Amino acid sequence: MSARRIDGKAFAAGLRERVGTIAADFAGKAGRKAGLAVVLVGDDPASQVYVRSKGKATVAANMNSFEHRLPTDATQEQLEGLVDTLNANPEVDGILVQLPLPAHLNEQAVVDRIAPAKDVDGLTPVSTGRLALGLDGLVPCTPLGSLMLLKDIHGDLSGMNAVVIGRSILVGKPMAQLLLAESCTVTIAHSRTKNLPELLRGADIVVAAVGRPEMVRADWLKPGATVIDVGINRLPPEPGAEKGKLVGDVAYGEASEVAGAITPVPGGVGPMTIAVLLRNTLVAAHRNENIALTDTTL
């Protein structure tokens, strides 16, 4: 068996195109563009790249991008004050504070400060609570993007056995909640789970988000299983190379000989994250202006 390669890059491109079309329609109805504000504290190179790419993608999708940069030594009061200002700005529909923050700042307090209606990362207590209760709300981008890929392959997920490896608030926990809402039978596993290979061999769906390079091996998988690899790990560079190879949490080469479908790393889940961020911003904009979405499947 050779697994179907799940092309997240192509799916994300289609989603971004749809978002751009609907965003243009929104601007005509609301008299303004939807707006995403991204806050970056410090000068971490990786975070700077992420913020730039998010800004470009936002503008390309017919929305306004508001970038706010604070120095590394910014105080908790300064950061929370900026979030308060963005909460009150009617031009801003979504607020994303780029994590991680410098160590002297309280991340949870900053996240808690974001207005739930503008919480496009889906991390506030209100957003996580609504997800747990099965109520409509804004959902973390990576899990929602992963669910979109799964539904694109299978359509109805009802009754499928799913194992989520990882219990983070960013991916593992919300992913499990989303799969439960699709009537899957869900098990949350993690790095300390006993007999993990045996557990995975009964799974129709495996979502790996544990942060360990190539931890999931081919003989851990049920033949024909669908594998969503959320992990992004950089291996040590080989002699003479500047950077090491990017790999996921699943040993892609061997796993693709057993799985029915699998996401590559890179090019799988990664591109979905920004696409869903744009989607969440557009959804928030429609709700903030009490305008019905023209595409109810978004």
- pLDDT, position 168: 94
124 residue type, one letter: T
- Which residues belong to the annotated binding site? 166-168, 232
Profile the chain (298 residues) by mean pLDDT over runs of 10 residues.
Answer: 92 97 97 98 88 94 97 98 98 96 96 98 96 95 98 97 96 97 97 94 97 96 98 90 91 97 96 97 97 87
- Check if 222 is active-site: no
In the DSSP assignment, the letter for residue 222 is P
**pTM value surpassing 0.85:** yes
Per-residue pLDDT tens over the stretch 255-289: 999 999 999 999 999 999 999 999 999 999 999 99
Which entry of 33, 93, 118, 121 is annotated as an active-site residue? 121
- Whole-number pLDDT of residue 294: 81
The active-site residue out of 98, 119, 173, 229 is 98
Instruction: Give yes or no: 54 in active site.
Output: yes
Structural domains in the chain plus CATH codes = 31-115 (3.40.50.10860), 141-271 (3.40.50.720)
Q: Annotated catalytic, 121? A: yes
Per-residue DSSP letters for 173-198? HHHHHHHHHTT-EEEEE-TT-TTHHH
Main-chain phi, psi angles of 45, to 5 degrees: -60, -40
DSSP characters over 105-143: S-HHHHHHHS-GGG-TT--SHHHHHHHHHT------HHH
